Amino acid sequence: MVVLSCGIHMESSKLEPSKKPLNVLTKQLDAQVIITLKNGVEYKGRMTRCDGHMNIMLDGASECMKDKLIANYGTVLVRGNNILYIELDTGRGKY
């Protein structure tokens, strides 16, 4: 599992291109992710799109809070500035 924190600002010029957060995200398209928002709500689903603002589109998304399922959705768009961090699937298991 890889966790990308969206609240910490790093000087991107010091990072090698393959380690920049947006590049890491785009390499994980069509993978399962867990997105935790600043208010504690989590969205789990398959990431189908992301943009330069880290707005992320999920298919087969479910909304959870404190490990309790709140709702299941088809497709959702999560606004990038609401994201606290993103857990990426690295093939070590299913969510």
Question: What is the residue-wise DSSP string for 3-54?
Answer: EEESSS---GGGS-GGGSHHHHHHHTTTSEEEEEETTS-EEEEEEEEE-TT-
Q: Is 73 a member of any domain?
A: yes
Q: Is 64 a member of any domain?
A: yes
Q: Is 8 a member of any domain?
A: yes
With a cut of 60, say whether residue 54 has pLDDT above it.
yes
Give pTM, 2 decimals: 0.78
Q: Is 93 a member of any domain?
A: no
**What gap in Å lies between CA 17 and CA 56, rounded to an integer?**
20
Q: Is 94 a member of any domain?
A: no
3-state class of 81 per DSSP? Answer: helix
Structure token pair of residue 24: 């890491």
Q: Is 20 a member of any domain?
A: yes
Residue 46: give its domain's CATH number. Answer: 2.30.30.100
With a cut of 80, say whether residue 15 has pLDDT above it.
no
Number of domains in the chain: 1
Q: Is 14 a member of any domain?
A: yes
More confident of the two residues 63 and 7: 63
Q: Is 95 a member of any domain?
A: no
**What gap in Å lies between CA 88 and CA 29, rounded to an integer?**
10
Structural domain boundaries enclosing 55? 2-88
